[in-house]
């Protein structure tokens, strides 16, 4: 009798993706929000969470692991001072 084993599809949550990306760093390291977003989007291109939500998860997890965070995820246009 042939019985095909069902392999469950692993559906990673945003928190799982953040934890996985942060696992490459140690306490005291500084993480880049741009690099973290890129790593998360590469790991799961179907992730529908917004950048803002992912940044919130990254910051909470990184601080909990005593890591520093560099907020460099904004585009150059968003960083320029606005003139009237």
pTM for the full predicted model: 0.74
Phi-psi region of 77 (alpha: psi -120 to 50; beta: other; left: phi over 0): alpha
CA-based nearest residue to 51, from 66, 65, 61, 36: 36
Check residue 30 and give its pLDDT. 97
Q: Are 71 and 33 in contact (CB under 8 A)?
A: yes
pLDDT tens across 42-71, in order? 999 999 999 999 999 999 999 999 999 999
pLDDT higher than 50, residue 7: no
């Amino acid at each position: 009798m042939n019985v095909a084993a069902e392999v469950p599809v692993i559906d990673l949550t945003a928190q799982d993706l953040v934890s996985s990306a942060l696992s490459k760093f140690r306490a005291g390291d500084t993480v880049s929000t741009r690099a973290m977003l890129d790593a998360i989007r590469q790991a799961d291109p179907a992730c529908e969470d917004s950048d803002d939500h992912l940044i919130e998860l990254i910051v909470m997890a990184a601080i909990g692991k005593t890591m520093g965070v560099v907020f460099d995820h904004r585009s150059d246009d968003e960083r320029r001072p606005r003139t009237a």
